[in-house]
Amino acid sequence: MKLLLLGKDGQVGRAMPAALQRLGELVAYGRDVADFERPETLGPLIDRERPDVIVNAAAYTAVDLAEDERQRAWTINAGAMGAIGEAANKNNALVVHYSTDYVFDGMTEGAYTEDAHTSPLSVYGASKLAGEVLLRDSGARHIILRTSWVYAPVGKSFPLTILRLAKERDALTVVADQHGAPTSASLIADVTARAIERPVPGLYHLAPTGETTWHGLAQLLVTEAAAAGANLKLKPEGIRAIPAAEYPTKAVRPANSRLDTTKLQNTFGITLPPWQDGVQQLIKTLAAEGRL
């Protein structure tokens, strides 16, 4: 089996090789070769590589900036997916693609199932939803994994920002009325490999079990980091909970990002871990690398 990984330098992309290499030959490209701002170049790349599976970990993820860079976000998140889908269909390749909880408006109670009504609140969410539609309509075999609150030991993410600020400040305010499940890039990579091994095309939700808020996540991060020996000014009790209304952002975030993962777990025989496991592993990784 030949696998083509696109977006190899992002949070999710960097986690992929360890999980995918055991499945077959892996070829990985970043934006220097696979330029999602030029969708017309992606088809010829796929034609040349002729992969059995395309794993697309590339995306425009600057949620607030997307409000000002609407065309760029749509080109990368939507236009590129149409091109990938068309080329994958031509080459009979399976496409694994990642989408987001931001396709929902967050106004529903409980966890969102795959067939729940979509109503994105932001340019980012709308562009990711459009990418889903274009991939689906291309006719290519595909597995779309919607996930939430993604983080990794590299790149830019909420956990790394909190850990940096915890060394600089003794007090923080963090939003406490947005709910979801922080999802590690390593979990996404592991589930991707499992899905490719026994592919059942379709749309699935992927997130660890349980739920928290940004405030709850920040408190756990600081608690675990301190227990691992990090020299922090910030203590968990120094993190003040505030409503999202007190922390305005250019793009509106959904208040409810809970995703129902029943379909994923039943289809692929996967048992998803608690969200706390990924946070604890992040702290262990940073400590082992001397970056805590």
Which active-site residues does the annotation give?
124
How far apart CA 233 and CA 222 sit, in angstroms, is 10
Calpha distance 105→165 (Å, rounded): 29
Q: From CA 178, how far away is CA 175, in angstroms rounded?
A: 7
Tokens 């009504």 -> residue = 117
Place of tokens 């979990």: 187
Contact 24, 39 (CB under 8 A): no
Per DSSP, 289 falls in state T
Give the type of residue at 176: A
Q: What is each CA distance from 240 to 4, 140, 144, 170, 179, in whole angstroms?
A: 44, 47, 36, 11, 16
Torsional sign, CA 114, 116, 117, 121: negative
DSSP labels for 34-100?
S-TTSGGGHHHHHHHH--SEEEE------TTGGGT-HHHHHIIIIIHHHHHHHHHHHHT-EEEEEEE
Q: In angstroms, rounded to a whole number, what is the distance separating the alpha carbons of residues 30 and 259?
A: 29
Q: CA 20, CA 260: separation in Å to the nearest integer?
A: 25
